[in-house]
Copies of this chain bind each other. A is one copy, B any other.
Amino acid sequence: MGIPTKDLISLSPLSREDIEELFNLADEMKKIIERPVKKVPTLRGKVIANLFFEPSTRTRTSFELAGKYLGADVINFSSSGSSISKGETLLDTVKNILAMGPDLIVMRHSSSGAPHFVAERVEVPVVNAGDGINEHPTQGLLDLYTIRNYKGGLDGLKITIMGDISHSRVARSDIIGLSKFDTEITLFGPRTVMFYDPSPYRVKIARTLEEAVKDADVVMMLRIQRERQSALLIPSIREYSKFYGLSHWKLSLLKEDAIIMHPGPVNQGVELTPEVVYGNRSVIFNQVTNGVAIRMAILYTLLSGEGS
């Protein structure tokens, strides 16, 4: 089926086979994006509501384009200027929007669990586009999809995730997804922001950057979110960059064919220097393209049962 539930809130319920099926579908979707006429009528007459209660450029636009390429109409909401500031509850806002007819909700919220709360109370599919420090399942899928495309598969790979693990919804979805395959996951970052309880997942904690990256096939850098809690838990930006960032000269510590990933937006000069972002090991912009393809596959999977 690709997605075994009505919604996509977490990667947990997806099996390895579900994920592989989404990847195969995404391969087809990528062909649409690469065509001169990027438009198919598959989801014509469907309406996707983008509810972003936290600002975002790339994720909102990625879903918007994914919907439009498939022929759907997409309407955007953001919290600013909306009814939220007038005293309405989250559920009321969502129910009001749904009463106007949308077929699927894409939702980002600063509170962990908010999309789950909503999904349980509405009939249409809800796609979690990032909730607090909990999960970001479509980012997890596009990350796995990108690795699979570069490495031919996921089994047998050594993958290192570096940065503020404990506040990263991207890291959480990546770890959940990667754990469904035969991968070896290594984490590295300041101790204050390390995964609080790695026990449910098979992860290793590296002591040094060298140890973290030397055998890695994939190095996934996380974004230091200056606007979040992590600011209090990490050393100065300069110190963070020195010990936990990847600069050009540190690349020699990596395997020749290791790829470097980042969910964006990059704090240039902090997690990565510009030479690394635009270097030949970086697959950062491919992640963005793959994100549109994966989201097309998700929208198609969740909506295609209805229209026929």
Interface size on A, residues (CB 8 A): 60
The reply on A232 being an interface residue by CB < 8 A is no
The CA of A134 and the CA of B97, in the complex, are separated in Å by 26
Stretch from A17-25, A63-71, A151-159, A250-258 forming part of the interface with B: A63-71
Residues of A within 8 A of B (CB): 33, 35-39, 44-47, 55-58, 61-62, 64-65, 68-69, 73, 75, 77-78, 80-83, 86-89, 92-93, 95-97, 99-101, 103, 226-227, 264-268, 270, 274, 277, 285-286, 288-289, 291-292, 306-308
Q: Is the CB of B264 within 8 A of A88?
A: yes
What are 25 sample pairs from A and B whose C-beta atoms fall under 8 A apart?
A37-B45, A38-B47, A39-B73, A47-B68, A55-B82, A57-B83, A57-B96, A57-B97, A58-B96, A58-B97, A61-B77, A80-B81, A83-B265, A87-B267, A87-B268, A89-B268, A89-B274, A92-B265, A92-B268, A92-B277, A93-B265, A96-B265, A96-B288, A99-B288, A100-B288
Q: Contacts A55-B81, A100-B61; is A87 near B265 (CB within 8 Å)? A: yes
